[in-house]
């Protein structure tokens, strides 16, 4: 007798992919922030969140320890996250692919099939008011750069949460 294993159906109705270059700092922090905000809003099962890097040179690595520490200080655990590269299938699996900066958005646009181009955006325009439209890469800087990244990511995820709520209501 052959035993078959079935995965539990994924209840998520929307899928969001956070994208930076190496998937070590900004995108895992953004993934954790959005996931936390979705849980608190009661939408954790309705929206799936993941992160990826446009470059795969850190594949399988845990997030930068500074990102882990600064995110944890604000209550966003990065436990279990590992760097993964963006793959072609991501353009069809995710409803929104949100880049942390213009360089990564350009890379997404270059790799994305024409029919999925409307899924690509920057994260920061979701913030109500922000001093910039990009989340600067803190990797080569001091710990304060990770706090700045979180200072930008948090309000952007607040605005994104409102957009996701609107999309879910429109689809209902």
User: Which structural domains are found in the chain, ordered by start?
Assistant: 14-171 (3.40.50.2300)
Q: Of 67, 108, 110, which is closest to residue 86 (Cα–Cα)?
A: 108
pLDDT tens figures, 129-151: 888 999 999 999 999 999 999 99
Please tell me the distance from the alpha carbon of residue 168 to that of residue 16, in angstroms, as a whole number: 13
Token digits of residue 130: 């922000």
Q: What is the pLDDT of residue 131?
A: 86
Residue 85: per-residue pLDDT: 98
Q: What residues are labeled active site?
A: 20, 26, 137
């Amino acid at each position: 007798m052959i035993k078959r294993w079935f995965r539990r159906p994924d209840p998520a109705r929307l899928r969001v992919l956070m994208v930076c270059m190496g998937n070590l700092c900004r995108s895992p922090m953004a993934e954790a922030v959005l996931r936390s905000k979705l849980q608190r809003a009661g939408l954790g099962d309705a929206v799936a969140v993941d992160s990826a890097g446009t470059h795969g040179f850190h594949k399988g690595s845990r997030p930068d320890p500074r990102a882990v520490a600064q995110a944890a200080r604000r209550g966003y655990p990065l436990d279990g996250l590992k760097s993964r590269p963006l793959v072609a299938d991501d353009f069809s699996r995710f409803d929104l692919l949100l880049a942390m900066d213009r360089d990564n958005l350009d890379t997404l646009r270059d790799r994305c099939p024409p029919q999925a181009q409307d899924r690509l955006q920057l994260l920061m325009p979701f913030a109500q008011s922000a001093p910039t439209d990009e989340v600067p890469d803190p990797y080569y800087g001091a710990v304060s750069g990770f706090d700045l990244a979180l200072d930008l990511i948090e309000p952007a995820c607040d605005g994104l949460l409102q957009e996701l709520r609107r999309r879910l209501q429109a689809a209902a």
